[in-house]
Amino acid sequence: MLLVPTVLIEYSVLDFTHGEIVFAQDDTYIHLAIARNLAKYGVWGITKYEFVSASSSILYTLLLAGIFKLWPAYTLVPLILNLSASVGLLVVMHKWLVRQGISRNAQLVTLLLVIFLVPLPVLIALGMEHTLQCLFSFLFIYEFSDWFGTSMDKKEKEISVPWTIYVYGLLTATVRYEGTFLILMGCLILVYYRRWLFAVNLGLFSLLPILIFGIYSISRGGFFIPNSVLIKSGPSLLSTEGMVKLFTHDIYDKLTNYFGMNGVSLQRLLFLLPLLGLFFLDEVRKNSTFRLVLIILTGGTFLHLAFAASLATFCRYEAYLIGSAIPIVCVLMVYWGKVFMHKKGVLSRGIVVYLCFLFIFPFLLRSTDAFGRISLCCINIYEQQYQAGRFLHRYYNNTVVSFNDIGAMSYQTEGSKVDLVGLGTQDVAIAVKMSRRTPAFIDSISGAKRVKIAVVHENWFEPETFYPWKKVAHWYVPNNTTLASPYLSFFAVDTTIAEGLEKNLKAFQSSLPAGVLAEYAN
């Protein structure tokens, strides 16, 4: 059941792209660009010329780079990795469900819910690190809870931490920075039960790769935290004013406001998990493992909603929490749902059924939306970002170019680049965090970096930004569902090359996918 929807998604995309593997988010190509440069040139960056921390996943980028050293099938590797991680997740979940003693039918239903509500086929098609994040998060949460919960139930005074928990903690934190939320919850539980040394060891070992990479990044002129994390977090992490705003406004806003089905699903999860604990209070008190799983997931969900990136984008940031929550929810319902429903009256049972529907419905809508959009998202990326990369590779492969979506164009070209958002260019990242990325700054850095061409979404910038440049053309993609804008504009930053840029765009136009419209300024 995992393979069938995955194959159907990829078949529909490959049929449109004539066999080209294309991903649903431009961010995937950021990983590919950094990993390729690391494998070929030993440089962690979107170009081979300078270090820049543009990836939110240390582990995934290193894993890709290691594989590229041996097998440079660049676009195929992410699909294989994600499919393998998804299978691994289902295997370890199945083993845990078997240990809980639930029926085979209940096991099957649980795994199907994981496949279609996470949803795993969509994450595979994204080609990013999120299936690995789901796998490592589940392993850490449930291994930690099994170990410490069992020792609590047995009232053991002398315990030792299995080495696997340290490894899972390290992998969870390193695959994505949100994993630190789960590590923090584990450490807080250990502190609460006065296992001070265990808490310190778990925290230090899990965060060790992040600490090492952060120190290395600072030594190369970057921030301790990757640009991709800092910029998406807003100004809160680098200013006193931002921190005050975070705790007085932003957290409340994230916990209460509507962020589409992705955000609503996570908000509902934040209430669903404690409610389950209350519904089955007597039973959860008897089983410390279940209690710890609920505590870690509830705390992790709160921290994610409060501090992580916006959930308004594609269904990937919250997948690790939803995937880890489904098994415990299903087991609790199977174990004690029947007993609970039998004990209560008709009215109570009706209220419970209604509440279950109210809480679960957003997850169904979220999954339906993801499956409905995933193929078109891949096609949109192929129509715009991928084609822009092809164009630049053909005519301006070693030319200095600026842009605001850095993935596909960085992956397909070799020249120096200026990322006007800041993920891939450190000077811009500093300006963004200090609120100094003005039109004058962009003009200044374009001159300093000798930028020749800008390929940008105009709606991301103030109109004054483009006054010194000469607009040559724009492409329009109909039926846009994932692009920053359906319009992608081409500017001659060096106005002396405007005529040549227009000539090359017109020559390339015939190779654009059907439906993509090219309009010229002259």
pLDDT higher than 70, residue 338: no
For residues 51-64, give the mean pLDDT: 95
pLDDT on residue 265: 84
Q: How far out from the chain centre does Cα 254 lie? A: 18
Res. 440 pLDDT band, cuts 50 70 90: very high
pLDDT on residue 278: 86
**3-state SS, residue 490:** strand
For residues 178-190, give the mean pLDDT: 97
Task: Annotate 353-383 with three-state secondary structure.
Answer: HHHHHHHHHHHHHHHHHHHHHHHHHHHHHHH
pLDDT on residue 314: 74
Reported as a single tens digit per residue, the pLDDT across 123-136 is: 999 999 999 999 99
Question: What is the pLDDT of the chain when averaged over all its residues?
Answer: 91
pLDDT on residue 51: 95
Q: Is 130 exposed, middle or buried (0-12, 13-18, 19+ CB in 10 A)?
A: buried
Fold of 377-520: D-Maltodextrin-Binding Protein; domain 2 (3.40.190)
Quick check: 472 and 501 in contact, CB under 8 A? yes
Q: Whole-angstrom Cα distance, residue 102 to residue 109?
A: 11
Reported as a single tens digit per residue, the pLDDT across 191-239 is: 999 999 999 999 999 999 999 999 999 999 999 999 988 887 655 555 5
- Cα–Cα distances in Å, from 397 out to 20, 137, 407? 20, 40, 15
| Cα-Cα-Cα-Cα dihedral sign, residues 22, 399, 501, 429 | positive
Q: Whole-angstrom Cα distance, residue 270 to residue 264?
A: 10
Q: What percent of the chain has pLDDT over 70?
A: 90
**Encoding tokens for residue 417?**
């680049």
Res. 137 pLDDT band, cuts 50 70 90: very high
- DSSP secondary structure letters along 50-99: S-----S-HHHHHHHHHHHHH---TTHHHHHHHHHHHHHHHHHHHHHHHH
pTM of the model: 0.93
pLDDT on residue 370: 94
Q: What percent of the chain has pLDDT over 90?
A: 76
Q: Whole-angstrom Cα distance, residue 75 to residue 5?
A: 19
pLDDT on residue 434: 85
pLDDT on residue 342: 66
Enumerate residues 6+ apart whose C-beta is below 8 A from 451.
Answer: 400, 401, 402, 418, 445, 493, 494
Reported as a single tens digit per residue, the pLDDT across 12-31 is: 999 999 999 999 999 999 99
pLDDT on residue 339: 66
Place of tokens 């003009």: 443
Q: How far out from the chain centre does Cα 340 lie? A: 37
pLDDT higher than 80, residue 255: no
pLDDT on residue 97: 97
Res. 143 pLDDT band, cuts 50 70 90: very high
pLDDT higher at 256 or 387: 387
For residues 256-276, give the mean pLDDT: 80
Reported as a single tens digit per residue, the pLDDT across 347-373 is: 666 766 776 777 788 899 999 999 999
Reported as a single tens digit per residue, the pLDDT across 278-308 is: 888 878 888 899 999 999 999 999 999 888 7
Res. 311 pLDDT band, cuts 50 70 90: low
**Encoding tokens for residue 464?**
């004054």
Domain extent listing, the chain:
377-520
Among 1-5, 33-37, 365-369, 435-439, name the most confident range: 33-37
Low-confidence winner among 334-343, 376-385, 436-445 (lowest mean pLDDT): 334-343
Tally Cβ neighbours within 10 Å of residue 265: 27
Q: Whole-angstrom Cα distance, residue 195 to residue 363?
A: 37
Q: Whole-angstrom Cα distance, residue 392 to residue 429?
A: 24
**Encoding tokens for residue 334?**
């199977």
The angle, 0 to 180 degrees and rounded to 10, between the axes of the packed helices 179-192 and 288-307 is 130
Beta partners for 488? Answer: 475
Q: Whole-angstrom Cα distance, residue 230 to residue 422?
A: 10
Own/partner long-range contacts of 182-188 (Cβ < 8 Å, ≥24 apart): 182/137, 182/140, 182/141, 182/296, 182/300, 183/140, 183/207, 184/299, 184/303, 185/295, 185/296, 185/299, 185/300, 185/303, 186/140, 186/144, 186/296, 188/299
Res. 244 pLDDT band, cuts 50 70 90: low
CA terminus-to-terminus distance, the chain: 53
pLDDT higher than 60, residue 508: yes
